[in-house]
Structure 1
Amino acid sequence: MDMIELDGSAGGGQLLRTALSLSLCTGIGFSMQHIRAKRSRPGLMRQHLTAVNAAATVGRAFVHGVDLGATSLRFEPGQVVPGDYRFATGTAGSTTLVLQTVLPALWSCDAASRLVLEGGTHNPLAPSADFIADSYLPALRRIGAEASLRLERHGFYPAGGGIVHATVAGGAQLQRRVFDTRGERESVRATALLSALSASIGRRELEVLGERLGLGESELELLGVRPALGPGNALSVQVRHAAHCETFTGHGERGVMAEDIARKLADEVRAYLDSPACVGEHLADQLLLPMALAGGGEFTTTTISEHLSSNARLIEKFLPVEIDWQALGPDHWRVVVAS
């Protein structure tokens, strides 16, 4: 079996998840050293273990080094098998990151798959379930991969307990797509999600967003989670244009005022609205892999993050593509994936 040697010190868990996805899709094995070496807690955490085990399960892979805290891993893929799967992090680890790991392999199968994922659904440093459903999956649909997500139960850090259901259609025919214009603005909506916390927190957050983004009462929504498994607060803004939808998320933190959470999120949304770019920072690096599997694509985005650049260099090790970018102006970059 072909094997690739990878250095995981240049990024976080995303490099491992990208390697797992591409290994399943290409049949190329890999060994990764120095996993998350620069993080405050290096090595594999529970959500990374779940992603590795999920990839090994759907791809009938051999894995060496799947231990909590491990900083090296060897992964040898087998045959990807569609079917019904259930994976649980056992903590508030992100369900959406596990989903993104196995999606490319499953959409390449000749039959549909169904997944039940348990853990966190709205976590700091991970895409929220809302982002996946409203922004990520619609973008994949344009490229040619069909999948859907249904949220059964919310899960916040540290309690977890969330449940999402995903259906992945097989037989994807990926095509080169260009995301460079978002079209006319159709709507901007803000939602404050609260679990076992005072509704006043959400009202204060929404008041700031309303003022800073010019939103009326009908564009502000306060939602309480039932049943509440533990305290949690997520604040999201959905920006919908005719050709593209972006979802921005902020998370309540102990000791941080609700107004500060909202102001930070409003600044992020405003920076996107003021830029001519189509794709937001977080979706940008997540589009690289499906575009590379499609043999090419391009998009404009607001910034070139460390996540994007490190992900691009890893993808180039597995696939015969080149990923490059150039500045078009302030907060405006063009990223090209070429075969």
Structure 2
Amino acid sequence: MKPLTLDGSTGEGGGQILRTGLALSMVTGRPLHITRIRAGRPKPGLMRQHLACVQAAVAVCGGQAEGAELNSQTLVFTPGAVRAGDYRFQIATAGSCLLVLQTVLPALMLADGDSQVQLSGGTHNPMAPPFDFLERAFAPLVRRLGVGLELQLQRRGFYPAGGGELVARITPTSATMQPLAPVDLLERGPLHNAWGEALVPGLTRNIATRELEALGQRMGWTFESGQLRQPPTRQNEGPGNALIATLEHAHVTEVFCQLGERHLSAEQVAKRLVDEVRAYQRSSGALGPHLADQWMLPLALAVWRSGRAARYTCSEVTQHTATNAQTIALGLPVRVQITPVERAMQVEIQPAP
């Protein structure tokens, strides 16, 4: 079988090319040869978090990997048969659990039985989707394809300490006896609910209060209405800070997150989050920029397996998303077309002729 050859410096030049490449290799059985890994980053090559993705892929399909070592910029990955089962992956240095999960999820979506994946490491990381995003925004869309995906957060883990734990339970289409079915998502629908929450385990409650007050002032949300919340801290969590906004629309739920940093005031964190939410609200696209990126590969798999095209609209196509589209088109017999529509962008994925 012809290898999937990828240049890791393409487009945004980060770890997404590696993760998508590994996922495509596992689902198609094509060997992966990737060079110039993370060439667009200040420290190129494989970091510990990316090694965790490679090691997870090896475990899930019994594959082999050459070049799987710290700072390596070249990897040759030869997949085996994907095996359903119970897996446990520990990500060192508070690397993102969610990015490791997204590496193996496409393969386990198509496996011959149920799987459980336990992950420990970071659940709220810079440059990675937080757990709340996957649980509320991403997983419901995956379930619409006919795949069972249930996520359970056992403990939050913030960078750099880590210590978070979560469990993902995946029921593939083979178990449900339903085909992987693509869905169109062109409109977000009416807004049913919206709220903000501040996570501050291991920190003073005053930080959460200030963040929520600033968020409420800008969004018109109040404590009395239940739109400003501080969830309880689980045992042994922290320290860390995340401010999250959730918008529940009829057809999609969007989640936006800003992490607190030492040099940022609570008010600055809130302003950054509001800026993200307002950018989404100004658009008519169904998905925000991060969900548009994360949704592309599962939907492309459904298009490939069903032979039917599918579309979605989004508020923005980032360079990250454009790079992902290019990588997917190299690895699957599909075409990804991105076009502007009124106050949004449209992504259409079609079976290759």
Shorter-chain TM band: over 0.9
- Match of 1:91, SS state, is helix
Residue type of the alignment partner of 1:25 = V
Counterparts in 2 of 1:305-316, with a 5 A limit? 305-316=318-329
Residue type of the alignment partner of 2:94 = A
Counterparts in 2 of 1:160-179, with a 5 A limit? 160-171=162-173, 173-179=179-185
- Match of 2:317, SS state, is coil
- Residues 190 and 319 of structure 1: CA distance in aligned 2, closer, same or farther (over 3 Å): same
Q: What CA distance in whole angstroms lies between the structure 2 residues aligned with 1:2 and 1:275?
A: 41
1:182-237: CA deviation from partner (whole Å, max 9, x where unpaired): 11110111010012111111111111111111112111111352334542001111
TM-score, with normalisation over the residues of structure 2? 0.93
1:269 to 273, 277, 296: 277
Tell me, yes or no, if structure 1 residue 202 matches structure 2 residue 214.
no
8 A Cα contact 1:65 1:72, kept in partner: yes
Q: What CA distance in whole angstroms lies between the structure 1 residues aligned with 2:279 and 2:221?
A: 16
8 A Cα contact 1:91 1:161, kept in partner: no
Tell me, yes or no, if structure 1 residue 288 matches structure 2 residue 290.
no
**Length, aligned pairs only:** 338
1:233-288: CA deviation from partner (whole Å, max 9, x where unpaired): 01111100111100111000111111101101011111212221100000101111
8 A Cα contact 1:194 1:224, kept in partner: no
Determine the structure 2 residue equivalent to 1:90. Answer: 92
- Match of 1:178, SS state, is coil
Determine the structure 2 residue equivalent to 1:4. Answer: 4
Q: What CA distance in whole angstroms lies between the structure 2 residues aligned with 1:253 and 1:224?
A: 21
1:13 to 12, 15, 18: 15
Residue type of the alignment partner of 1:279 = L
1:1-55: CA deviation from partner (whole Å, max 9, x where unpaired): 4212210012211110001111100000111000001101111111111111001
Determine the structure 2 residue equivalent to 1:193. Answer: 199
Q: What CA distance in whole angstroms lies between the structure 2 residues aligned with 1:322 and 1:268?
A: 30
Determine the structure 1 residue equivalent to 2:117. Answer: 115
2:265 to 247, 257, 277: 257
- Residues 202 and 72 of structure 1: CA distance in aligned 2, closer, same or farther (over 3 Å): same
Residue type of the alignment partner of 1:9 = S
8 A Cα contact 1:159 1:229, kept in partner: no
Q: What CA distance in whole angstroms lies between the structure 2 residues aligned with 1:6 and 1:223?
A: 42
Determine the structure 2 residue equivalent to 1:322. Answer: 335
Percent sequence identity over aligned pairs: 44
- Match of 1:309, SS state, is helix
Q: CA RMSD in A?
A: 1.1
1:147-187: CA deviation from partner (whole Å, max 9, x where unpaired): 11100011000000100011000225221211111111101
1:22 to 7, 24, 37: 24
- Structure 1 residue 135, shift from structure 2 partner: 0.5
Tell me, yes or no, if structure 1 residue 248 matches structure 2 residue 250.
no
8 A Cα contact 2:123 2:157, kept in partner: yes
8 A Cα contact 2:146 2:173, kept in partner: no
1:334 to 341, 346, 349: 346
8 A Cα contact 2:4 2:25, kept in partner: no
TM-score, with normalisation over the residues of structure 1? 0.97
- Residues 229 and 245 of structure 1: CA distance in aligned 2, closer, same or farther (over 3 Å): closer
Determine the structure 2 residue equivalent to 1:216. Answer: 222
Note the residue ranges of structure 2 that are not aligned, 5 or more in a row.
304-308
Note the residue ranges of structure 1 that are not aligned, 5 or more in a row.
none
Q: What CA distance in whole angstroms lies between the structure 1 residues aligned with 2:336 and 2:52?
A: 29
8 A Cα contact 2:8 2:18, kept in partner: yes
Residue type of the alignment partner of 1:61 = G
Tell me, yes or no, if structure 1 residue 149 matches structure 2 residue 151.
yes
Determine the structure 2 residue equivalent to 1:105. Answer: 107
